[in-house]
Structure 1
Amino acid sequence: MRPHTLRGRLMAGVLVLLALACATIGVGTSIELERFLVDRLDQQLSMAAGRFAVILEHRREEERERSDSRGQSIGTLGVRMVNGQVINAAVVRSRSADDAEPSLSAQDVAALAAVPVDGRGHAVELSELDDYRVMATRGKDGDVLIDGLPMEGVEATVHRLMLAESVVFAVVMAAAGTAGALWVRLSLRPLQRMAATAQRVSTLPLSSGEVALPDRVPVEDQRTEIA
């Protein structure tokens, strides 16, 4: 419902402008934080490009279920592809447990095969592993080695920031609404007094009837009029 009073319209305008400013700040900081964290993730991938995936390159068949994940963070993905097909794949599950071979669907394989071999980070969504940041490099045997890190940490950090911003902005809006209402009330006091005075004047009885004029005009006034 739109406010009908001047005070209500002023308060609504102030709160709308403040809400737009808060939303702009929130969206901007969230985007910049996500970009910063993704850049950090890409730096980690570039420093460890091919290290985990190369372990899969010449692994013996009897060692297919095991790989050396020393120095790799939990969730690290290693994939070896030949001619667009996944030959080996492994995910670091924990420090003590053996690495597990993820279940990759045909859509996942197609998404991994489409990753450019340019040594840069790219985002992919895998059905079992969710969102990943991956980097593809060329292997020694003409195969493609893909290393990836989960985006879960980045997304969780951004979500926590958005939640904190929502709480802070709600407090700011409440405080601004209270302070704004007081400021508008003080600013409109002179106008309210004028309106009250005008209302009292409008209730007074107005004079009625013809205006009484003098019967004769003084001689001096007549001479002045003739001149």
Structure 2
Amino acid sequence: MPRRRPRAPWTLQRRLVLTVVALLALVSVTIGVVSVVILRASLIDRLDVQLASAVERSGVVLGGGDNDGDRFGDTPESPYFGMPAADSILGGPAQPPGLLALVYDGTTITTGYTDDQSGAIEELSGDQVQLLADQVNQSAPVTVDLGGELGEYRLQAHTSRTGILYLVGLPLSGVAATAAQLALIITFVSLAGLIVVAIIAAWVVRLALRPLQRVTATATRVAQLPLDRGEVALDDRVPAGDTDPRTEVGRVGAALNRMLDHVDLALEARQTSERKVRQFVADASHELRTPLASIRGYSELTRRSGQHLPPDTIHALGRIESESVRMTGLVEDLLLLARLDEGRELEQQPVDLTVLLVDAVNDAHAAGRDHVWNLELPDEPIEAIGDEPRLRQVVANLLANARVHTDAGSEVIVALQAVGDRAVITVTDNGPGIPESLTDTLFERFARGDTSRFRGTGSTGLGLAIVAAVVAAHHGAVTVDSQPGRTQFRVELPLAGAAEAH
């Protein structure tokens, strides 16, 4: 099952804008709900007043004749004579539309309601009559849902002076419609307000975060500087306007500037120390060349003088001569690294890498006949612009590294190809591989190991450091990929056209 990619974190600007919008939405919803509830309660109170008036008028219709105790409908002169009691209430004077009535005179129940549209008196269903009958003992207004087209009604029961029990109700449809209309208006107004506030909040937050963005930009520019090597001019600072300690961003900007000042001082101290060390190494290497050449010359001259010398003396002179040769190579390597550290420009001449690899592999074959050397070259020559002697030294060091750190009979494959605007040289062997703990420091100076790949080789630890320094001076790159049974060094150099453009 594929792993889900982690969701990208929200930016501070997005969180602030959404927080403002969410708070405003919460306030709008609260205000809307409270407003609708208060309006509905107010409208119901007004409806209860109308209901009380309807109850009073209904009582007059049922028990308000000239002779106390007679109903208007009991005499032929009454306009309600012969009408059902419920119809008398619904047809009474000044009764509101939609009025509902239920009358119980002790023997029969009559019900009905006035249609809002036509004004005609309609009958209630049996279930609706039962719902009304359950509320005949309610002297205070109550709300009952009659279902169907009638919906909710506000009902109140009363007993006339003649002892007739009656129930009068008014529809809540008007209250519901008014409340729904208010809720709809509040919803649309709130949505429009949220959109406007979101736009304004995004603009205000973006404006407020500009100082923080400038601080971030300064930190980003500093982070892109190569602080680990060479002389670095750490002149970038947060603008003075963004370092006001009275603001949060100002305190961050001021702290960053102080940190950059400390880093700048530390870099200057490091550069001064490195400069002194490089100068010392260069001077010492230069001065050691002459005495080492003298030691080597005198030891060779004495050994070849033809005089009879004891075997121990001859062996000692041979050791002196071989060690002077090794020391001379070490001094030359140190001097080369010191010059590269100083940034001295290398020669820029066309170099045929094909011919260079052929010569290097022939030399390696002569020095290591117990190894198998294979060369893979393209059909067309590949040229780079650079310093030919230094590039020869790069390839020679890689081949010597493969020869020294692999067993007899190991195969070493040297290949050349063009990849894009780069010439790629690979040196691959089937030796024991490089321990993982050494891969990170492999190209550092005097990097050596204790494993079988490095033990007893007499290496100075400068060969791969020279490779990395020379390749970097040619604007190239060197990498290594190693595992037991396969180690490959990969050198990338700009092709002749790409190097000239660079």
Report the TM-score when normalising by structure 2.
Answer: 0.38
What amino acid does structure 2 have at the position aligned with 1:127? Answer: G
Match of 1:224 in 2: none
Match of 2:18 in 1: 12
Greater RCO between the two (CA within 8 Å, min separation 6)?
1
Match of 2:115 in 1: 93
Q: Residue 112 of structure 2 contacts residue 124 of structure 2 at CA under 8 Å; is this kept in 1?
A: no
Match of 2:202 in 1: 181
Distance 2:161 2:125 in 1: 24
Give the direction of change, closer, same or farther, for the CA distance of 1:86–1:109 in structure 2 (3 Å limit): farther
Aligned pair partner of 1:152 in 143, 148, 173 = 173
Give the direction of change, closer, same or farther, for the CA distance of 1:155–1:86 in structure 2 (3 Å limit): farther
Match of 1:75 in 2: 98
Q: Residue 121 of structure 1 contacts residue 133 of structure 1 at CA under 8 Å; is this kept in 2?
A: yes
- C-alpha displacement at 1:124, in angstroms? 0.9
Deviations 1:54-104 (A, max 9, x none): 646865795239533321111011111367x9711122336985x424222
Secondary structure at 1:194's aligned position in 2? Answer: helix
Give the direction of change, closer, same or farther, for the CA distance of 1:94–1:6 in structure 2 (3 Å limit): closer
- C-alpha displacement at 1:161, in angstroms? 0.6
Distance 1:75 1:166 in 2: 30
Distance 1:133 1:19 in 2: 34
Q: Which deviates the most, 121-130 or 186-195? A: 121-130
1:37 aligns with 2:43: yes
Q: Residue 136 of structure 2 contacts residue 167 of structure 2 at CA under 8 Å; is this kept in 1?
A: no
1:172 aligns with 2:172: no
Distance 2:217 2:97 in 1: 73
Distance 2:131 2:94 in 1: 27
> Where do 5+ consecutive residues of structure 1 fail to align?
215-227
* RMSD (CA atoms): 3.1
Identity of aligned residues (%): 34
Distance 2:56 2:121 in 1: 18
Give the direction of change, closer, same or farther, for the CA distance of 1:96–1:182 in structure 2 (3 Å limit): closer
Secondary structure at 1:161's aligned position in 2? Answer: helix
Give the direction of change, closer, same or farther, for the CA distance of 1:86–1:174 in structure 2 (3 Å limit): farther
Q: Residue 136 of structure 2 contacts residue 166 of structure 2 at CA under 8 Å; is this kept in 1?
A: no
Give the direction of change, closer, same or farther, for the CA distance of 1:198–1:116 in structure 2 (3 Å limit): farther
Q: Residue 57 of structure 2 contacts residue 93 of structure 2 at CA under 8 Å; is this kept in 1?
A: no
Q: Which deviates the most, 142-151 or 2-11? A: 2-11
Match of 2:58 in 1: 52
Secondary structure at 2:205's aligned position in 1? Answer: helix
> Where do 5+ consecutive residues of structure 2 fail to align?
1-6, 64-70, 75-80, 230-269, 277-502
Secondary structure at 1:212's aligned position in 2? Answer: helix
- C-alpha displacement at 1:4, in angstroms? 1.4
Give the direction of change, closer, same or farther, for the CA distance of 1:86–1:16 in structure 2 (3 Å limit): farther
Q: Residue 54 of structure 1 contacts residue 145 of structure 1 at CA under 8 Å; is this kept in 2?
A: no
Q: Residue 56 of structure 1 contacts residue 80 of structure 1 at CA under 8 Å; is this kept in 2?
A: no
Q: Which deviates the most, 117-126 or 195-204? A: 117-126
Greater Rg by CA = 2
Match of 2:144 in 1: 124
Distance 1:5 1:23 in 2: 26
Q: Residue 102 of structure 2 contacts residue 112 of structure 2 at CA under 8 Å; is this kept in 1?
A: yes
Q: Which deviates the most, 26-35 or 166-175? A: 166-175
Report the TM-score when normalising by structure 1.
Answer: 0.80
Q: Residue 7 of structure 1 contacts residue 185 of structure 1 at CA under 8 Å; is this kept in 2?
A: yes
Match of 1:212 in 2: 273
Distance 1:35 1:7 in 2: 42
Secondary structure at 2:167's aligned position in 1? Answer: strand
